[in-house]
Amino acid sequence: MFIYHFSLRLPYSKCLGFYEGSIRYVIVTDDNGKRIRLGTHHLRPFITNQGLHGYFRMFVNQNSAIERIERVR
């Protein structure tokens, strides 16, 4: 299992594309500088009327499949 930590700060207007289908992936940079491509469907549960804000922990298995993402703060 691999664990990655990253921050996101997107206004709600940018997150609309997650639902409309115009934005299917985002690239985040973890705390160690590794760039990770995520399907936006993984981030939808964390979107509020303020947008997508927070510090996240992502668990990835040995097959590079995302097991879960949780907001740390």
CB 15 within 8 A of CB 51: yes
Closest CA to 53 of 14, 7, 18, 3: 7
Centroid of chain to Cα 61? 16
Kindly give the confidence (pLDDT) of every residue in the chain, 73 residues in length, as a single tens digit, with 9 standing for 90 and above: 999 999 999 999 999 999 888 999 999 999 999 999 999 999 999 999 999 999 999 999 999 999 999 999 9
Identify the CATH assignment for 2-71 out of 2.40.128, 2.60.40, 2.30.30, 2.40.50.
2.40.50
Question: Any idea where the domains of the chain sit in the sequence?
Answer: 2-71
